[in-house]
Structure 1
């Protein structure tokens, strides 16, 4: 503008804008936290007649809660990222939103031997989904109902995509 300094770049204007946004902006509405009791109710609700789709949801919920994992971290898990033994599961995360150096992290989740045990749920899901120990496939792929078998199955297409690293 004719060699003049931009008025919007002055500290006075920036402070006015910040104040207006603070006063007129929408107040944040914090979400209610998910409690352990809520997860217990979820597991009990699906416990009697659990299918693969329900088990997938329960396992994702229990792993996320117990390992403080974000949804984006859980859906990126592959079978090769897991080490399961008698007392725990070790989950190797490639990188996450909170990993500023992008070095990855290892999350250890202990076996609780309760009906809400995330390790037991994970083992049950792996068995129901027929996911092999030496597989490099994504764990939580799409599940669809197979009319021929009369049950839910993990979609095959993602097996090929996970091998190709899409």
Structure 2
């Protein structure tokens, strides 16, 4: 039995394919997307900008973002609060509040979310999904909000479309790139691990660290501190 187990473990190592992690989205990319699509009143474009900014700032997974309902959102002047009914690591289904600050910049997730809500004429007391499908009816030249939520493939298409439009190769990025981009930027600025874990709904440092991409300068600190 021990031989068989060793044989199976050996075959797994031989046949295993390395996990290719997607690159993190950066704030500079989001700024370019907002510059290109966030200034007008095209509902699809404003929804796209709001969705990307919220996902980045809130460290949202796809399932958390897509399941947000209008009644889960409370907007204040200085911030917005999102209630996550259930999360990947929320085994007891207690839910969690995610707080995202307003910046006043053109990439402000709170401002862009408010613009999307106003443009789509959404009611924050409703139980409909926050980010819903949008159709453009050419015959009437109007946008129509549909019921339901955005699928994983549709959200990925939206992200890839935005990246292509700013001349970035979309193959290097996935929906998790928004989550990893947000936490990597916050970690680089010295935000304490305790706050990062709470904001991103991580239970352990190990799971959080998988998402953090260290900048070269930070990586070099290790060997440069050895006194060689």
TM-score range, shorter chain: 0.7 to 0.9
The CA distance in 1 between the partners of 2:53 and 2:66, in whole Å, is: 13
The CA distance in 2 between the partners of 1:83 and 1:108, in whole Å, is: 10
Q: Provide the residue aligned with 1:63 in structure 2.
A: 54
The CA distance in 2 between the partners of 1:113 and 1:64, in whole Å, is: 18
Question: May I ask how many residue pairs the two structures share in their alignment?
Answer: 149
Offset of 1:132 from its aligned partner?
1.6
Greater displacement, 46-55 / 101-110 = 46-55
2:75 corresponds, among 77, 81, 84, to 84
Q: Does 1:115 align with 2:93?
A: no
Residues 62 and 116 in structure 1, CA contact (< 8 A), matched pair in contact too? yes
1:44 corresponds, among 35, 38, 53, to 35
Kindly provide the CA deviation profile for residues 125-152 of structure 1, in whole angstroms up to 9, marking residues without a partner as x.
Answer: 0001110232221111111012354122
Q: Does 1:30 align with 2:21?
A: yes
**Structure 1 spans left out of the alignment, 5+ residues:** 1-9, 160-166
Kindly provide the CA deviation profile for residues 80-114 of structure 1, in whole angstroms up to 9, marking residues without a partner as x.
Answer: 00111111101000001122222111100000111
Offset of 1:154 from its aligned partner?
0.6
**Greater helix fraction, Structure 1 or Structure 2:** 2
Structure of higher CA gyration radius: 1
SS in 2 for 1:109: strand
TM-score by length of 2: 0.61
Residues 93 and 104 in structure 1, CA contact (< 8 A), matched pair in contact too? yes
Q: Provide the residue aligned with 1:129 in structure 2.
A: 120
**Structure 2 spans left out of the alignment, 5+ residues:** 150-228
Kindly provide the CA deviation profile for residues 44-103 of structure 1, in whole angstroms up to 9, marking residues without a partner as x.
Answer: 111344411111111111111000001111111111001111111010000011222221
Of structures 1 and 2, the one scoring higher in RCO (CA 8 A, sep 6+) is 2
Q: Provide the residue aligned with 2:169 in structure 1.
A: none
The CA distance in 1 between the partners of 2:2 and 2:118, in whole Å, is: 61
Structure 1 consecutive aligned stretches of length 4 or more whose deviation exceeds 3 Å: none
